[in-house]
Amino acid sequence: MAPAAKTVCVMDASSGTGSALVAALLQRGYNVHASVQNHEELQCVKGNTNKLKVYRSDPLDYHSIMNALKGCSALFYSFQPPPDHSTYDELMVEIEVRAAHNVLEACAQTDTIEKVIFTSSVTAVIWRDGIKTMSSDVDERHWSDVNLCKKFKLWHALSKTLAEKTAWALAMDRGVNMVSINGGLVMGHDLTINNPYLKGAAEMYEDGLLVTVDLKFIVDAHICVLEDVSSYGRYLCFNNIINSHEEALTLAHMLLPPSSEAFSHSSLEESVVYQQGISNKKLIKLMVDFEGGVSC
């Protein structure tokens, strides 16, 4: 359970997951420093004003990060592309890696930080040669192959992989207690076909690796790994797998207009069901006794 006096930072709090996390933390009795990149995003962050402080922090500006972290015992960090460069490409890879380095360095220099929850992605895990010939499911021990990501221009996967590896290297070097949440495709209201996570979705689907996660589940997972002192390393976070024609069609309905060819029943084999090729057992085991909502 969360001690009421605990103060934590959420960065970037303007994302769908970030803002939901802020709300959940406030409900559990935490004091929250909500960090956003620009003032236009301040209205996205709402909650008990007595327990909420909003900061403008640029992940490429070390001093602004330090300011948001003052007095905090933990940081929830997720990268949000800057407003002037929202497309994942080679440049975004460099930006996200630099941001991860700055944030972990700032945490290392902040005496009060006890744990960092680093939001990564399943795309930092699944892109490897020979997936279909593996004797066991893909899990948190695996990493996406950097050269394969570059070859097929999987910029989101490359960005998440290199940023997370940078964060882990710095955390281990500086003695920062870090845990990562490698989330699936977050099923929020703003989900579209242009989500960079979906690059290579057909291949994910055929390999049994196309996974999604409900907003509440990924928020609960973040809070669980903070509050459970036994949490460590990486956690694959998803609560649904798209591995049948029916599920694929449902997802397509959410992502595409009704006139799209994706709705043609002939475009997918009705009978196809792909074997699941990924495991989230480590997270499910950790969360078995977790109770979301207000802390007692």
- CA dist 195 and 91 (Å) reads 17
Cβ atoms within 10 Å, residue 288: 8
**DSSP secondary-structure letter at 109?**
T
Q: Which of 203, 226, 271, 4 is nearest to 113 (CA)?
A: 226
Are 166 and 174 a contacting pair, CB within 8 Å? no
Cα separation, 14 vs 36, in Å, equals 6
Query: Would you state the structure tokens that stand for residue 156, as one six-digit string?
Result: 């989101």
Q: Among 250, 118, 242, which Cα is nearest to 184's? A: 242
Which residue, 208, 101, 96, is CA-closest to 161?
96
133 in helix, strand or coil? Answer: helix
Helices and strands in the chain, H and E counts = 9, 10
* C-alpha to C-alpha distances, 44 to 17, 109, 259, nearest whole angstrom: 12, 29, 33
Cβ-contact 205, 248 below 8 angstroms: yes
> Phi then psi for 235, rounded to 5 degrees?
-135, 120
The angle formed by the CA atoms of residues 175, 101 and 216, to the nearest 5 degrees, is 85
- CA dist., res. 3 & res. 172, Å (int): 27
Among all residues, which ones are annotated catalytic? Answer: 160
